[in-house]
Every structure is written in structure tokens, then in C-alpha cells.
Amino acid sequence: MVRLPLTPAEVERGQRLGALLRRARGERSMLEVALDARVSPETLRKIESGRVATPAFPTVAALAQVLGLSLDAVWAEINQPVPGAEPVGAGPFARLAGRRSDG
């Protein structure tokens, strides 16, 4: 599978997610949080550093739960408008994302 390069907006969202998780983790160790969320410490380190800008939703949900963050708060934090970037949900696949499969 070929992975497309990340857009500047995706990189920015990844950096915001990492910063949010670091702030929420506070004094707790990376190891403790990772083990509580059932993700590897290496995965958490990469997310916090922005090296993994688009982590899987279940990973984000598990980390948010362990850190006491609502997914709404995470979404709001990482999707602040970036000057000159396409809005979230824009782009060539936006209409597919909104399509319902029930009929």
C-alpha cells in the first residue's frame, strides 16, 4: 500500500494532538499512560512528538480516556483553523465521507 504524503494541515493537527496529550499527561510517565491505554510507549512517544500525525482512532480514543479528555475536546483542539488550509471535511473525498450506506 502506498501512503500519500501528509498535507501541511494534517502535520499541524498531529502536532496539536501531540501537544495536547503531553499537557494532559502532566507529571504522569509516558510508560504509565501508554500501558494504561494499552498502546506501546513508542507509539505514544511518536504521537506526542508529532512523528505520527494521523494515529488510528481507537488509539486516540484510548489515550483520551486514560487522560480524562473528551473526544469532543480533542477534536476541537486539533481542528483549529490553519490560515490558508482547506477546512476539515473539504477536499476530494469530502462527499464520500458524508455518504450514508443505509440506502
CA angle 55, 47, 16 (to 5 degrees): 95
pLDDT tens readout for residues 15-66: 999 999 999 999 999 999 999 999 999 999 999 999 998 999 999 999 999 9
Q: What's the pTM value of the predicted model, to 2 decimals?
A: 0.74
- On whether the CB atoms of residues 75 and 89 are closer than 8 A, the answer is no
H/E stretch holding 102? none
Domains recognised in the chain with CATH numbers: 1-71 (1.10.260.40)
